Amino acid sequence: MLVHAFLERSAQARPDHLAIVHGSETATYGEVERGANRIARVLVERGFRRGDRVGLLAENSRVYVEAFFGILKSGCIAVPLNTALDGDTLRATLSDCDPRGVIAGPRFVEVAAAASAGAPSPRTLFVPRAEDAAPHAGAVALADAPGDASWDSPPAVALGEDDRAAIIYTSGSTGRPKGAVLRHSSIAANTASIVSYLELRAADRILVVLPFYYVYGQSLLTTHVAVGGRLILENRFLFPSSALDTLQREEATGFAGVPSTFAILLHKTNFAHRSMPSLRYVTQAGGPMSPSLTRRLIDALPGKKIFVMYGATEASARLAYLPPEALATHIGSIGRAIPGVELRVLRKDGTEADPEEIGEIVARGANIMEGYWGDPEETARVLDADGYHTGDLARRDADGFLWIVGRERNMIKSGAHRISPKEIEEQILEHPDLIEAAVIGVPDELLGEAIAAYVVARPGVRVDLRELEAFARERLPAYKVPRDFILRDELPKSPAGKVLIIALRGSTGGD
């Protein structure tokens, strides 16, 4: 299965079914399919060929959806780009993958043009409309492309499932972003697995607040297009109550978020008291959610299915999930491997860890990436005969459920101890006045690293840091109690809502 075949199949089966709702704008599957075909034909007519990279810089929109599938239909590789990147970082990302062209949404034409200026090889800028193209010599307006009705059908491009479909850049929350190369077969396999365990169908309508350039967001796009469901695009999560209004008005059946998404909804809106009869399920991924927040989410959504999930960009999105019926008794677990994926917990010597023994999660499956673009050294570090080394440390209990202990590169080395930030965060967040916490190691002359905890209080609440330290001492051994508690109004996050550990380290002078 080729990824763009998901769109073609849904458009053929239900051409008049709504694919996109974005504010007052709507588009049917038939309309999105024709738009994607025209973009594909523009690329082919411009000489783009199988394997060429095409950057995509746009907010969640009809433009994004049609461009993503249009790039794939042309045989090119889609490179979704983070819309929050500053000019220098965007330029570095483009330099890394060297796309032959960039499709920019209306709000991002100027930054795309600036980031492409002086590129070592010629780069075509594609924009939605003629007025967007006018100030930029050589820019191509997609809406004004010539062609008769034949342009409404896809170009004839020979592709196989092992062809590359996308290069998705990791979030860079703990280091330099790397481009994970995903084949059509990898994305298609992961899409089919997610559709299966979520039991998605054409009647489903997902409220999308996560950006499509983020692999979790991309999975919302591909899974719902695969079943002919509806994408309700909401780019105003800075105003979370507006997002909830959209969820109710459009009768969304599904909602997806990262831990900070649910922290915001539960502490800054009336989410727990809203009537949402249409909502069937919610999914959470993008990092571990604290047990205290999970319990609050369960209480807020009686009768709704809550899927706690685990994955990675390198895995096309998803590796494991915890079935909703097991959530109440397994809070903190990531569950078991999704269909089609094998997850093992391995010791450093590559042997299988015993139950309850801590080791690294190593994954095998059709969804695993080919490697990192242009980085064979980093690829060899994470991919070997055993599979994909996630860098996540975990244990498997006697029932086969996986429990993340921490991330190898984030483990704090304090004196003779190796300490998991996750364990400390979970205990601190049991404090009723806190909504978020992030724990890191900071340089210490005697210990090597000391523990620092950044915390965010509930709105309108003043937290006594000395009392918070005493609270931590009651729940943690002395060597795990943070030396420093730093109160913040908010934690630095990516546009997808993941805490930027690298930014916290920079604020303390750590590397």
pLDDT of the residue at 32: 97
Say if residue 125's pLDDT is above 90: yes
The mean of the pLDDT values for the chain is: 93
pLDDT of the residue at 84: 87
Q: Are 339 and 193 in contact (CB under 8 A)?
A: yes
Q: Which CATH number fits domain 3-159: 3.40.50.12780, 1.10.260.40, 3.40.50.1100, 3.30.70.2740?
A: 3.40.50.12780
pLDDT of the residue at 449: 87
State pTM to two decimals. Answer: 0.89
Gyration radius of the chain's alpha carbons? 23
Q: How far from the centroid of its chain's Cα atoms is residue 61's Cα?
A: 17
Say if residue 465's pLDDT is above 60: yes
The yes-or-no answer to whether 3-159 and 411-508 have a common fold is: no
Cα–Cα distance measured from residue 185 to residue 160, given in angstroms and rounded to the nearest whole number: 9
Alpha helices in 270-342 (DSSP H): 291-300, 324-327
Which of the four pLDDT bands, split at 50, 70 and 90, describes residue 509?
very low
pLDDT of the residue at 504: 87
Say if residue 274's pLDDT is above 90: yes
Which of the four pLDDT bands, split at 50, 70 and 90, describes residue 175?
low
pLDDT of the residue at 511: 31
H or E segment to which residue 219 belongs:
helix 215-227
- CATH domain 188-407 topology: Rossmann fold (3.40.50)
pLDDT tens, residue by residue, 359-383: 999 999 999 999 999 999 999 999 9
Least confident of 1-10, 175-184, 374-383: 175-184
Say if residue 443's pLDDT is above 70: yes
Q: Are 70 and 91 in contact (CB under 8 A)?
A: no
Q: Which CATH number fits domain 411-508: 3.30.300.30, 3.20.20.140, 3.30.499.10, 3.40.50.12780?
A: 3.30.300.30
Per-domain boundaries in the chain: 3-159, 188-407, 411-508
pLDDT of the residue at 507: 62
Say if residue 505's pLDDT is above 50: yes
Q: From residue 215, how far is each of 176, 191, 442, 464 by CA, in Å?
A: 17, 12, 30, 38
- 367 against 286, higher pLDDT: 367
- Strands (E) located in 199-251: 205-208, 230-233
Pairing of strands 484-487, 448-457: parallel
pLDDT of the residue at 169: 94
Q: Are 245 and 232 in contact (CB under 8 A)?
A: no
Short-list 350, 363, 282, 250, CA closest to 317: 363
Q: Are 232 and 250 in contact (CB under 8 A)?
A: yes
Which of the four pLDDT bands, split at 50, 70 and 90, describes residue 173?
low
Which of the four pLDDT bands, split at 50, 70 and 90, describes residue 149?
confident
pLDDT tens, residue by residue, 39-55: 999 999 999 999 999 99
